[in-house]
Amino acid sequence: MIRHIVLFKFKETANGKTKEENLREARERMLAMQGQIPEILEMTVSLAASGSVPANYDYILDSRFRSLEELEAYQKHPLHVAFGNFIRELREPDGRACIDYEI
């Protein structure tokens, strides 16, 4: 079993929307994939608490897959690729951190 955790730091504004609006939309788009990409066993998306330290990350994805091969299939899925293109516009240039590990 593989646990895949990704953190994003969002821009204050992007695509004509506030950080809060973009965070909500990103969360909704990610969670919508859960029923459409069969490799996803489990997924949660959480947003930073209001008033958190500004240097903290804003968004966390915590997901589980049966294997690295299934994680790779998820990452290549057209819905995930489209999400990656979408999120790239919203996050800070160095605003991504990720870890994949066995559980």
pLDDT the model gives residue 81: 97
pLDDT the model gives residue 46: 97
pLDDT the model gives residue 38: 95
The stretch 87-99 carries a mean pLDDT of 96
pLDDT the model gives residue 69: 97
For the CA atoms of 15, 85, 91, 13, the dihedral, rounded to the nearest 10 degrees, stands at: 0
Using one digit for the tens of pLDDT, what is the confidence trace for 11-42? Answer: 999 999 999 999 999 999 999 999 899 999 99
Q: Going by C-beta distance under 8 Å and a sequence separation of 6 or more, which residues neighbour residue 58?
A: 8, 9, 10, 19, 23, 47, 48
Using one digit for the tens of pLDDT, what is the confidence trace for 39-72? Answer: 999 999 999 998 889 899 999 999 999 999 999 9
Domains annotated on the chain, with CATH = 2-102 (3.30.70.100)
